[in-house]
Amino acid sequence: MSIYDLTFRTKTGEEKSLSEYRGKVLLIVNTASKCGFTPQYEELQRLYERYNDKGLEILAFPSNQFMNQEPGTDDEIQQFCQLNYGVTFPVLPKTDVKGENKHPIFEYLTEQAPGALGTKAIKWNFTKFLINRTGDSVKRFSPQTKPSTMITEIEQMLQQ
């Protein structure tokens, strides 16, 4: 199985395959609007503006699984991200990133890139997964890792 075998639902409800991102560097993030890490949206947007034309794509998957920090509707989440952070990268519908209804994308990512001490669970909002252009290398970053500190890894993957 490859990351490119997986699909997700867009904000308009259509099923989209990750195979459409083949040849791109992907940054997949589980997000929330009422979290202490929410200001990371600003840095994510800056990364997107700086590297999108070089091949970086960012996909935000809001989740309400951590202390109900994403309580809004999908439309409210979209508005919040655009009005407060000027987000132009895809912010997708709310998604389960852990538990029995965990989305297959997060099942795959947590298998490929376990966290500290080998744990596969996502512990909090703004866990980040960076995937190379061929989809075969996944690097995991903790919620505390600011997107701006990931530039070296992003640039390395973009040059591959």
In percent, the amount of the chain with pLDDT more than 90 equals: 92
SS3 (DSSP) at 113? coil
Count how many domains the chain has: 1
Residue written as tokens 């132009």?
A: 88
Q: At what angle do helices 40-51 and 74-85 cross, to 10 degrees?
A: 70
CATH number of residue 139's parent domain: 3.40.30.10
- Tell me which of 35, 58, 109, 138 is the catalytic residue: 35
Reported in sequence order, the residue ranges of 7-103 that DSSP labels E, i.e. its strands, are 7-9, 15-17, 25-31, 56-62
DSSP-derived 3-state class of residue 133: coil
pLDDT, tens digit, for every residue of 74-120? 999 999 999 999 999 999 999 999 999 999 999 999 999 988 888 88
Domain extent, residue 93, equals: 3-159
- Global pTM? 0.97
Tell me, what DSSP letter sits at residue 29?
E
Instruction: Confirm whether 81 is a catalytic residue.
Output: no
